[in-house]
Structure 1
Amino acid sequence: MKLLLLPPRPAVPPPCYAPRRRTRRRASPSMASLSTHHYPLAERPLRYAVLGAGFAGLSVAWHLLRHSPEKLHLRIDIYDESGIGGGASGIAGGLLHPYSPKVKLLWRGAECWKECLKLLNIAERVVDKRNSNSQNVELEWNLDESIIRRRGILRPAMDAKHLGILTNNAQNCLPFCKIESIDKDAAEALVPNIKVPFNSVFHMPEAVNIHPLCYLQALFLACQDLVEEMSTSSFGGKELYMHKKSIDRLSDFEGEYDAVIVCLGAKADLLPELSGRLPLRTCRGVIAHLQLPDNVGETYPDHSPSILSDAWLAVQGPRDILVGSTWEWKSRNYSSGVSAEEASTALKQLLPKASAIYPKIKDWSFVGAKAGIRAMPPLTSFGSLPILGRIDDLVVGNHSCKYWFFGGLGARGLLYHGLLGKLVAQAVLFNDETLLPVELTSWKR
Structure 2
Amino acid sequence: MLMFAQTPKFISWKWQRETHSTHSSIGISCSSSFSRCSFSSSPSQRPLRYAVLGAGFAGLSVAWNLLQHGCKESRICVDIYDEAGIGGGASGIAGGLVHPYSPKVKLLWRGAECWNESLNLINIAEEALLNKLVNEGKFETPKNGESPIVRRRGILRPVVNSKNVNIMTENARNCLDNCRIEPINEEAAQKLVPNLSLPLNLAFYMPDALNINAQRYLQGLYLACENLANEMSGNLSFHRKSVPSLKELAGEYEAVIICLGARSAFLPELSGRLPLRACRGIIAKLQLGDEMREEYQEHSPSILSDAWLAVHGPRNIDLGSTWDWKSENYSRDITSDEASNSIETLIGKASSVYPAVRNWTVTRAVAGLRAMPPLTENGSLPILGRLDECIDLGHSCKYWLFTGLGARGLLFHGWLGKLLARAVISCDEDLLPCELTSWKHKMHR
TM-score (norm 1): 0.87
Equivalent residue, structure 1, for 2:225:
223
Whether 1:27 aligns to 2:21 is: no
Alpha-carbon distance, 1:339 to partner: 1.6
Compute the displacement of 1:29 (Å). 5.5
Task: Check the 8 A contact 2:296/2:314 in 1, yes or no.
Answer: yes
Separation in 1, partners of 2:260, 2:284: 24
Query: Is 1:85–1:216's contact at 8 Å kept on the other side of the alignment?
Result: yes
SS at match of 2:248: helix
One-letter code aligned to 1:265: G
Task: Tell me, in whole angstroms, the C-alpha distance in 1 between the residues paired with 2:69 and 2:390.
Answer: 28
- After alignment, is 110-119 or 121-130 more displaced? 121-130
**CA offsets per residue over residues 42-93 of structure 1, 9 Å max, x none?**
4321111000000000000000000113211211100000010000000000
Q: Give the Cα separation in 2 of the matches to 1:293 and 1:225.
A: 40
**Quick one: which of 79, 87, 90 aligns to 2:89?**
87
- Once the two structures are TM-superposed, the CA of residue 396 in structure 1 deviates from its matched residue by 3.0
CA contact (8 A) 2:83 2:242 kept: yes
Change (3 A) 1:29 1:163: closer
Secondary structure at 1:196 match in 2: coil
Equivalent-residue separation in structure 2 for 1:330 and 1:343 (angstroms)? 16
Deviations 1:109-134 (A, max 9, x none): 01100000000110111122213324
Q: Would you say the 8 A contact 2:159–2:165 is kept in 1?
A: yes
2:191 match: 189
The answer as to whether partners of 1:150 and 1:315 remain within 8 angstroms in 2 is no
CA distance in 2, matches of 1:42, 1:398: 26
Hey, what's the Cα distance between the residues in 2 that align with 1:29 and 1:167? 31
Task: Report the CA distance between 1:145 and its aligned residue.
Answer: 5.7
Q: Deviations over 1:228-250 (max 9, x none)?
A: 1111xxxxxx1110000011001
In 2, distance between residues paired with 1:134 and 1:312? 34
Aligned to 2:35: none
Q: Are the aligned partners of 1:286 and 1:325 in contact in 2 as well (CA < 8 Å)?
A: yes
**Paired position in structure 2 for 1:301:** 297
- Say whether the 8 Å CA contact 2:152–2:208 is kept in structure 1: no
Give, in angstroms, the shift of residue 338 of structure 1: 1.6
Aligned to 2:372: 376
1:259 aligns with 2:255: yes
For residues 181-226 of structure 1, the C-alpha deviation after alignment (integer angstroms, 9 at most, x for no partner) is 1111110000000001121111000001010000001100000001
Letter in 2 for 1:115: E
Alignment of 1:2-41 (within 5 A): 27-28=24-25, 40-41=42-43
Residue identity matched to 2:261 = G
Match of 2:111 among 100, 109, 112: 109
CA distance in 2, matches of 1:286, 1:128: 29
The CA deviation string for residues 26-50 of structure 1, in whole angstroms up to 9 with x for no partner, is 72469xxxxxxxx943432111100
Aligned residue for 1:332, secondary structure, equals coil
Match of 2:237 in 1: 241
Q: 2:105 is paired with a residue of what secondary structure? A: coil
Q: Give unpaired runs (5+ residues) of structure 2.
A: 1-21, 28-40, 139-145
RMSD of aligned Cα (Å): 1.7
| Count of aligned pairs between the two proteins | 401
Could you say which residue in structure 1 is the equivalent of 2:419?
423
User: Offset at 1:163?
Assistant: 1.7
Q: Which residue of 2 aligns with 1:288?
A: 284
- Name the aligned partner's letter for residue 65 of structure 2: H
Q: Which runs of 5+ in 1 are unaligned?
A: 1-24, 31-38, 137-143, 232-237
SS in 1 for 2:289: coil
Q: Distance in 1 between matches of 2:313 and 2:133?
A: 21
Mapped to 1, the partners of 2:391 and 2:440 lie a distance apart of: 14
Show the counterpart of 1:22. Answer: none
Q: Name the counterpart of 1:141.
A: none
344-353 or 205-214, larger mean C-alpha shift: 344-353
Residues 28-427 of structure 1 mapped to structure 2, 5 A cutoff: 28=25, 40-134=42-136, 146-231=148-233, 238-427=234-423
Seen in structure 2, the aligned counterparts of structure 1 residues 254 and 28 have a Cα distance that, compared at 3 Å, is: farther
Supply the distance in 2 between the matched residues of 1:400 and 1:329 (Cα, whole angstroms): 38
- Percent of residue pairs bearing the same amino acid type: 60
The code of the aligned residue for 2:252 comes to E
Worse overlay, 406-415 or 67-76: 67-76
